Amino acid sequence: MPTGLPLGGVEAGGTKFVCGVGSSPEDVVVESFPTTSPDATLDGVIRFFRHASPSAVGVGSFGPLDLHPESSTYGHITSTPKPGWRQFDLAGTIARALAVPIGFDTDVNAAALGEGRWGAARALSDYLYLTIGTGIGGGAVVGGKVLHGLVHPEMGHIRVPHDPERDPFPGSCPYHGDCLEGLASGQAIARRWGRPADEIPDDHPAWELEAEYIGLGLATWVCTLSPRRIVVGGGVMRRRRLLPLVRHELQRLLGGYIESVALTADIDRYVTSPRLGDRSGVLGALVLAERACRLADGDTPSSHSGKD
């Protein structure tokens, strides 16, 4: 960076805040703080960054969020059921404490940017990053820019076919019951089968069912967003059996209707794991910080390309 100072990034999650300083996967130094109350959590985060003196900080946060710069609640976490965090001014709290430019976006949009810059979606202008973990979320880059629109996507909350005879679990989403997140998140798996996903053996029928639900999500997003690649991360996807099952389900559901070699011979490259592992989010937050720097230097938002 022109300042010679490092960039800062925060992946603000429901269980921990992952903070990093640096400029790339090669030099980033990372530290995590458990998510407790906003005050206690931010106290650790701010002390970490005061010590590192970054030129700007990017924040990729759990949501829903207010991402509209012209809004009076810009930078806030909005309707989360998480105790204490509802209407919390996350970006503003960090900005006031550190007095540096702040970039702000959803956790999955940050992760999408990280994978686009250094990971599995490099040089692509249209792709999707998904996380299948405690919850399910997605960040889309369309025409080289992160998709925001009216609010921001909430991809985990799409409805998918659910056969209650085959899968009597009613779904775990407090808002929608059996939306995709309610059926296929790590939380849903744990509640359906009575034990956490990582304790369920490889040969358990849980994995075929999980692949079917994720495949339904992917088919929906292929038909809607027509991404050039889908990067699927998150804790549930650490199960190595799952990704090949998901690819197979996606092909079965599309039924050959959309003609593209990406969806046939190249399916293993089309549906792929993050290349930055667990660091997609915090590294993507560095990209947000870099953009915040440029904006502060008077650059225009149109330079905010997902490819840069």
List of residues contacting a copy of itself (CB under 8 A): 64, 78-79, 126, 138, 140, 142-143, 145, 147-162, 175-176, 216, 219-228, 253-260, 262
CB of 207 to a copy of itself, least distance (A): 20
Looking at the Cβ atoms of 101 and 156, the one nearer to a copy of itself is 156
Tokens 């970039």 correspond to what residue?
Answer: 103
User: Distance (Å, rounded) from C-alpha 308 to C-alpha 295?
Assistant: 14
Tokens of 76: 């806030």
Looking at the Cβ atoms of 45 and 146, the one nearer to a copy of itself is 146
CB of 172 to a copy of itself, least distance (A): 14
Looking at the Cβ atoms of 66 and 290, the one nearer to a copy of itself is 66
Which one-letter amino acid corresponds to residue 89? Answer: D
Looking at the Cβ atoms of 23 and 125, the one nearer to a copy of itself is 125
CB of 238 to a copy of itself, least distance (A): 25
Looking at the Cβ atoms of 14 and 64, the one nearer to a copy of itself is 64
CB of 187 to a copy of itself, least distance (A): 16
**Cα 68 to the chain's mean position, in Å?**
19
CB of 193 to a copy of itself, least distance (A): 22
